Amino acid sequence: MFRYQILIEYNGTNFKGWQIQKKGKTIQGLIQEKISNLLREKVILFGSGRTDTGVHAKNFYFHLDTEEKLPKQTLFKTNTLLPNDIAVHDILEVKKEHHARFDATERTYRYYLHPKKDVFINKTSLYYKNKIDFELMQKAADLLIGKKDFTSFAKLHADNKTDVCVVSNAKWVQSENQFYFEITADRFLRNMVRAITGTLLDVGVGKTSLSDFEKIIASKNRSNAGASIDARGLFLWEIKYPFELNSA
């Protein structure tokens, strides 16, 4: 058997997320079907994480095992079989014990917004016209750094062994026509980034004070935090491993 790790990006607008479900088109389901047909053997994909309905990925990895060594033209042929909202960028042969999900040490998400109406980015960025205090939002974001219990921002009734995550980066970045919130952690809870972003925006418009935001984190109560923001602006941006992904 041969193990390969594959790097892709996708626009999640027309998908029910990464993970295969009983109903609805998913990224995993579509790629798994196309590669299995191409190789004429059933393959199973193991993703580096999961994204929900409508969420995008700039860099997403999965691994799979094959009976035969992949030919050089596999990347090109796979791209020709996939729709325009999914692109395969790299295929690497890796060690058989490597796992795309469990070997990842850090993940970074970005949430994109734009302050002026823009018809060209509506599917990958949220139009947000309210006046925002970025300095105050950054002070709130700084409170996320460290090892903390993020139950207040977790999807209710999710089956998590722990709600503790280690956040190493949380920042707001502005440009002329767009801005985004970026957060990096060792792991993320389901819906966590969207809930945090929505609550930070409440701080930015004066709905929630800085001290209230600190209390929300400490409360470990989802009902105290703000609403989860729309999925369209969320990207899984980067995934890091403790080693270079070179061929085995």
pLDDT means per 10 residues, the chain with 248 residues, are 95 96 94 96 95 96 95 94 97 93 96 96 95 97 97 80 94 93 96 97 97 96 95 97 66
Nearest to 85 by CA among 104, 111, 60, 66: 60
**CB-neighbour burial class of residue 81 (10 A; exposed 0-12, middle 13-18, buried 19+):** middle
Residue 55: which of 8, 14, 108, 104 has the closest Cα?
A: 14
User: Token pair for residue 3?
Assistant: 């193990």
pTM beyond 0.75: the answer is: yes
Secondary structure of residue 192 in the 3-state scheme: helix
Note the pLDDT of residue 245. Answer: 63
Q: Does residue 4 contact residue 21 with C-beta atoms inside 8 Å?
A: no
Catalytic residue positions? 52
